């Protein structure tokens, strides 16, 4: 198993624009795996203008503890910024690792249950 950043890629589905429901799905995958076969982490984003809301995602249990979620989240936030997003909203998590990741990425509580990142 490899965990270096150079051994993974972030895949965006659809490649441009959004799905019919307005979402974009990002996955972190091994470069050597067929597309979509074994994502290490997944984040789904719903965009409305310059605001993005994380509406789903996670790390499969077999891939927990390797930093895949944190790596993908950082890449997704950079992609959102590059696509003109200025604010990212995310539901608060009770998972300690997820909460640490949110704080490390710069998310702050906006209101009960919702955290915000200004890009």
pLDDT, position 5: 45
Q: What is the mean pLDDT of residues 101-105?
A: 93
pLDDT of residue 2: 44
Helix (H) or strand (E) holding 41: strand 41-48
Contact status, residue 27 vs residue 39, Cβ threshold 8 Å: yes
Quick one: pLDDT band at residue 31, thresholds 50, 70, 90? confident
Using DSSP bridges, classify how beta strands 114-118 and 108-111 pair: parallel, antiparallel or unpaired: antiparallel
pLDDT at 6: 56
State the pLDDT at residue 4: 46
Per-residue pLDDT of 34-60, as tens digits, reads 888 899 999 999 999 899 999 999 999
Mean pLDDT of 29-33: 88
Domains of the chain (ranges; CATH) run: 5-118 (3.40.630.30)
Q: Give the chain's end-to-end CA distance (angstroms, integer).
A: 33
- Please write the tens of the pLDDT for every residue from 60-100: 999 999 999 999 999 999 999 999 999 999 999 888 888 89
Please provide residue 9's backbone torsions phi and psi, each rounded to the nearest 5 degrees.
-135, 155
CA distance 4 to 2: 6
Query: Alpha-carbon distance 56 to 4, whole Å?
Result: 25
């Amino acid at each position: 198993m490899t965990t270096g950043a150079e051994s993974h890629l972030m895949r965006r589905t659809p490649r441009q624009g959004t799905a019919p429901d307005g979402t974009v799905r990002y996955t972190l995958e091994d470069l050597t795996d067929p597309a979509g076969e074994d994502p290490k982490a997944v984040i789904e984003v719903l965009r409305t203008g310059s605001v993005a809301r994380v509406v789903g995602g996670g790390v499969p249990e077999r891939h927990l503890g390797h930093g895949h979620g944190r790596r993908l989240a950082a890449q997704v936030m950079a992609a959102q910024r590059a696509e003109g997003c200025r604010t990212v909203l995310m539901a608060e998590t009770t998972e300690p690792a997820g909460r640490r990741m949110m704080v490390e990425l710069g998310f702050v509580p906006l209101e009960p249950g919702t955290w915000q990142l200004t890009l």
